[in-house]
């Protein structure tokens, strides 16, 4: 674990260290024993990792095999490259070759189709717009009638109020008939000193009028009553 | 890390180096690989350009190690000049698409030698006892 970690630490200078093909034997370290900025441990400073043993015979054999493999792979690659080129030339997967007449016909067909669609949609749209217009006209008419009705009602009410005021104005006390009104009030005194029960019956409770008594010799008692009332 | 689709969503430059290699999926003590085409400089867990196969290195109940390869696309990408990682080259060599990789021969003869040595030692232990 530590050895693999050390390799990772020392190899970080090379960007290809992780992604390169020679990282096959590298152990995948998910969790490191120490942070990467720490130096190599004192006990491991002079440790030299052991190389894998490889005999001369094996080495030459591998060399031969590798040379052979590289040659074979090169020819396979060339074959595949030619195959790809051939395929691209012959296939019509992503580029369909058409003559100018065919292209023109195709374009004309698309244009006609588009025009037909547009015409159909325009018809539908006109019908819809006409219907909407009619609805709007009817709505406005209705609102106008309602407004007229409302106005008439309002005018009627105002007329009635004016008439009532005119009717009432006949009994108003003005500067001209002020003296007559005063005389009439003095001539007809009203006595408000009475009791009312829940049924609305009046109880006058006094045979003599207090007003006529009070005017010749006023005493404190009726004043207090008036105040309390 | 969500799995990117096999059709590939990886972005790449037209002239950048592509490579056919493994992406290690699965989990601890249970490797599983996707064989993908991606930009060579990218980390393996980045989105791929295209997935061209899968490889399950652990033998199943029938003692098979399952590999799936989209050979048509592999041929296409190799023809386009994609590189090959060593494990991917070994696998494709065993699959018969490419020549056998030297590393395969090497591990084979090392295994043979280890087996012969183990047999010899076992014989010697038998003769001694």
Residue B18 distance to chain A (closest CA, Å): 12
pLDDT of amino acid B3: 72
State whether B105 and B56 are in the same domain.
no
State whether B77 and B123 are in the same domain.
no
List, in sequence order, every residue forming a beta bridge with B36; answer none if it has no partner: B21, B51
What tens digit of pLDDT does each residue of A152-199 get? Answer: 999 999 999 999 999 998 888 889 889 999 999 999 888 888 889 999
Q: Which of A96-100, A120-124, B51-55, B116-120 has the lowest mean pLDDT?
A: A96-100
Placement of tokens 């007449």 in the chain? A101
* Neighbour count for residue A164 (Cβ, 10 Å): 10
Q: b/e for A195-204, b at 16 or more Cβ within 10 A?
A: eeeeeeeeee
Q: Which of B43, B78, B106 sits opposite A62 (nearest CB)?
A: B106
Best CA proximity match to A76, nearest among B20, B97, B90, B18: B97
For residue B83, give the chain A residue with the closest CA. A21
B120, part of any domain: yes
B65, part of any domain: yes
Q: How far apart, in whole angstroms, are the C-alpha atoms of residue B66 and residue B59? A: 8
CATH number for the domain spanning B77: value is: 3.30.1320.10
Q: How far apart, in whole angstroms, are the C-alpha atoms of residue B36 and residue A110? A: 41
Q: Which of A19, A68, A77 sits opposite B40 (nearest CB)?
A: A19
pLDDT of amino acid A194: 85
Percent of chain A with pLDDT over 70: 74
State whether B8 and B59 are in the same domain.
yes
pLDDT of amino acid A15: 42
Q: How confident is the model at residue A7 (pLDDT cuts 50, 70, 90)?
A: very low
pLDDT of amino acid A193: 83
Q: How far apart, in whole angstroms, are the C-alpha atoms of residue A40 and residue A55? A: 32
Q: Does A24 touch chain B (CB under 8 A)?
A: yes
Residue B30 distance to chain A (closest CA, Å): 13
Mean pLDDT over each residue of chain A, to the nearest integer: 81
Q: Does A128 touch chain B (CB under 8 A)?
A: no
Q: Does A182 touch chain B (CB under 8 A)?
A: no
pLDDT of amino acid A6: 43
Q: How confident is the model at residue A29 (pLDDT cuts 50, 70, 90)?
A: low
Residue A81 distance to chain B (closest CA, Å): 4
State whether B37 and B69 are in the same domain.
yes
Q: What is the 3-state secondary structure (H, E, C) of chain B?
A: CCCCCCCCCCCCCCCCCEEEEEEEEEECCEEEEEEEEEECCCCCCCCCCEEEEEECCCCCCCCCCCEEECHHHHHHHHHCCCEECHHHHHHHHHHCCCCCCHHHHHHHHHHHHHHHHHHHHHHHHHHHC
State whether B18 and B41 are in the same domain.
yes
State whether B4 and B51 are in the same domain.
yes
State whether B11 and B73 are in the same domain.
yes
B15, part of any domain: yes
Q: How confident is the model at residue A108 (pLDDT cuts 50, 70, 90)?
A: very high
State whether B13 and B61 are in the same domain.
yes
Of residues B1 and A98, more confidence is placed in A98
User: Complex ipTM, two decimals?
Assistant: 0.90
pLDDT of amino acid A190: 83
State whether B38 and B68 are in the same domain.
yes
Q: Does A54 touch chain B (CB under 8 A)?
A: no
Q: Does A98 touch chain B (CB under 8 A)?
A: no
pLDDT of amino acid A149: 98
State whether B34 and B73 are in the same domain.
yes
B93, part of any domain: no
pLDDT of amino acid A88: 87
**First and final C-alpha spacing in chain B:** 57
Q: b/e for A19-37, b at 16 or more Cβ within 10 A?
A: bbbebeeeeeeeeeeeeee
Give residue B19's domain range: 1-85
pLDDT of amino acid A28: 54
pLDDT of amino acid A24: 52
pLDDT of amino acid B19: 96
Q: Which of A21, A28, A65 sits opposite B105 (nearest CB)?
A: A65
Segment A42-69 shows an average pLDDT of 93
Q: Does A21 touch chain B (CB under 8 A)?
A: yes
pLDDT of chain B along its 129 residues, tens only? Answer: 567 777 788 889 999 999 999 999 999 999 999 999 999 999 988 899 999 999 999 999 999 999 999 999 999 999 999 999 999 999 999 999 999 999 999 999 999 999 999 999 999 999 987
State whether B120 and B72 are in the same domain.
no
State whether B65 and B18 are in the same domain.
yes
Domain count, chain B: 2
Q: How far apart, in whole angstroms, are the C-alpha atoms of residue A32 and residue A36? A: 8
Which residues in B have their CB inside 8 Å of a CB on A?
Answer: 24, 40-44, 75-76, 78-81, 83-87, 98-102, 105-106
Segment A86-110 shows an average pLDDT of 85
On chain B, the residues whose CB falls within 8 A of the CB of A81 are 79-81
Structure tokens at A97: 């070759």
On chain B, the residues whose CB falls within 8 A of the CB of A82 are 79
B90, part of any domain: no
On chain A, the residues whose CB falls within 8 A of the CB of B102 are 62, 65-66, 68-69
């Amino acid at each position: 674990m530590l050895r693999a970690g050390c390799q990772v630490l020392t190899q970080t200078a090379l960007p290809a260290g992780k992604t390169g093909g020679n990282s096959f034997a590298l152990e995948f370290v998910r969790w490191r024993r120490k942070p990467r900025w720490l130096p190599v441990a004192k006990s491991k400073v002079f440790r030299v990792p052991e190389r894998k043993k490889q005999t001369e015979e094996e080495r030459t054999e591998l060399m031969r095999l590798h040379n052979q493999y590289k040659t074979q792979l090169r020819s396979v690659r060339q074959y595949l490259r030619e195959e790809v080129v051939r395929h691209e030339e012959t296939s019509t997967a992503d580029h369909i070759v058409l003559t100018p007449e065919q292209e023109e016909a195709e374009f004309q067909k698309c244009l006609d189709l588009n025009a037909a669609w547009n015409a159909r949609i325009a018809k539908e749209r006109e019908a819809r717009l006409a219907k909407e217009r009619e609805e709007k006209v009817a709505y406005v008419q209705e609102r106008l009638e309602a407004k007229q009705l409302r106005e008439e009602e309002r005018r009627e009410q105002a007329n009635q109020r004016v008439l009532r005021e005119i009717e009432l104005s006949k009994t108003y006390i003005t500067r001209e008939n002020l003296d007559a009104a005063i005389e009439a009030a003095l001539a007809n005194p009203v006595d408000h000193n009475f009791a009312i029960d829940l049924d609305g019956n009046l109880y006058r409770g006094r045979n003599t009028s207090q007003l006529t008594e009070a005017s010749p010799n006023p005493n404190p008692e009726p004043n207090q009553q008036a105040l309390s009332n | 890390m969500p799995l990117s689709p096999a059709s590939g969503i990886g972005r790449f430059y037209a002239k950048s180096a592509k490579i056919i290699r493994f992406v290690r999926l699965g989990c601890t003590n249970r490797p599983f690989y996707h064989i993908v085409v991606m930009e060579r400089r990218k980390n393996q867990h980045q989105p791929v350009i295209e997935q061209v196969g899968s490889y399950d290195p652990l033998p199943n109940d029938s003692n098979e190690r399952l590999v799936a390869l989209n050979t048509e696309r592999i041929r296409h990408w190799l023809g386009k000049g994609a590189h090959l990682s060593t494990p991917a080259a070994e696998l494709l060599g065993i699959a018969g698409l490419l020549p056998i990789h030297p590393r395969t021969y090497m591990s084979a003869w090392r295994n043979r030698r280890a087996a012969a040595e183990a047999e010899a030692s076992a014989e010697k232990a038998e003769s001694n006892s």
